[in-house]
């Protein structure tokens, strides 16, 4: 009885901040402005398929880049001493202590035509280049802002891999590539899946990065949803698009989870 009573505040919190907003989104998605039932809003989501596919594509690119950078970095940190591990992880998390908007504004300053990067390139006779208001700038902003979310789960998994397993594989004649493919990668797969999920989900739904670093050619689904709630003042269509994005995210998470074992462990074969 005490356990149920202690859980009551958490239940209230979930109802107010999770269940109630979700029900409101569903309600607005299937109603008109006068409150009558309709599926027209959901049907109109298909009109924005190019924007949805563009958002998915840029999110995939950013996720792959984060994985390529984060995996060797997390592996290298996990092989340091305990004190160095704490220092490096603090440096990884340091940008997260700064406001998300300020980090994005900083990249605006760096990438603009008269920004620091173009000025440095000008010293060697290069540029100026059009860096801001491009899809590349949007991907760069995603990678910079979401890279720590890839490093943290990878590090937390890789650091727990028993070094004796690697030594045993080497004793059995495995070279470095075989050790990685047959021991390290399978054991670190849960961290890869968690990192991919933690980067892809916010990347596919972001809007502020594309607004500040992108242009009309880098419009994401998050930008369209925001415009429906603000400029167009069509919360019903915005809610329908939000519901579609939510379903898309759930599908992606389900597909990623299929790559992990049911018991949460990976098989090691040497």
Q: How far is CA 12 from CA 6, 18, 21, 27, 99, in A?
A: 11, 10, 13, 21, 29
**Rounded Cα–Cα distance for residues 228 and 243 (Å):** 13
Give the pLDDT of residue 263: 43
Which DSSP state fits 79?
T
Give the start-to-end residue ranges of the domains of the chain: 48-257
At 251, list the tokens: 């599908």
At 78, list the tokens: 């996990």
Q: Is the dihedral of CA 94, 98, 100, 104 positive or negative?
A: negative
Contacts of 130 (CB under 8 A, 6+ apart): 113
The phi, psi pair for 93, rounded to 5°, reads: -85, -10
**Rounded Cα–Cα distance for residues 204 and 251 (Å):** 13
**Rounded Cα–Cα distance for residues 159 and 74 (Å):** 8
Query: 48-257 domain in CATH 1.10.3720.10?
Result: yes
At 124, list the tokens: 């060697």
**pLDDT tens sequence for the chain (270 residues):** 555 667 778 888 888 888 999 999 999 999 998 889 999 999 999 899 999 999 999 999 999 999 999 999 999 999 899 999 999 999 999 888 888 888 998 999 899 888 888 888 888 888 788 888 889 999 999 999 999 999 999 999 999 998 888 888 888 888 888 888 888 989 999 999 999 999 999 999 998 899 889 876 678 999 999 889 888 789 999 999 999 999 888 888 888 777 665 444 555 565
At 36, list the tokens: 């009558």
pTM: 0.88
């Amino acid at each position: 009885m005490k356990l149920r009573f202690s859980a009551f505040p958490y239940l209230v919190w979930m109802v107010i901040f999770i269940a109630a907003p979700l029900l409101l989104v569903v309600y607005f998605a299937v109603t008109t402005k006068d409150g009558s039932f309709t599926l027209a809003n959901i049907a109109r989501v298909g009109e924005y398929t190019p924007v949805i596919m563009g958002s998915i594509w840029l999110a995939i690119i950013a996720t792959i880049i984060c994985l390529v950078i984060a995996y060797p970095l997390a592996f290298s940190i996990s092989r340091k001493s305990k004190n160095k591990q704490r220092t490096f992880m603090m440096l990884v998390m340091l940008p997260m202590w700064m406001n998300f908007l300020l980090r994005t504004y900083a990249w605006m300053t760096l990438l603009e035509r008269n920004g620091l990067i173009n000025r440095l390139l000008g010293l060697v006779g290069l540029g100026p280049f059009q860096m801001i208001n491009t899809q590349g700038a949007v991907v760069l902003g995603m990678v910079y802002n979401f890279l720590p979310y890839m490093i943290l789960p990878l590090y937390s998994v890789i650091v727990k891999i028993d070094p004796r397993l690697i030594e045993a594989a080497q004793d059995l004649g495995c070279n470095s590539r075989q050790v990685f493919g047959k021991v390290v990668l399978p054991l670190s797969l849960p961290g890869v899946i968690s990192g991919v999920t933690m980067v892809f989900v916010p990347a596919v739904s972001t809007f502020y990065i594309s607004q500040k670093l992108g242009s009309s050619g880098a419009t994401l689904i998050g930008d369209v949803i925001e415009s429906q709630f603000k400029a167009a003042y069509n919360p019903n269509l915005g809610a329908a698009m939000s519901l579609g994005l939510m379903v898309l995210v759930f599908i992606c998470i389900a597909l990623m989870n299929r790559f992990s074992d049911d018991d949460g462990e990976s098989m090691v074969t040497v």
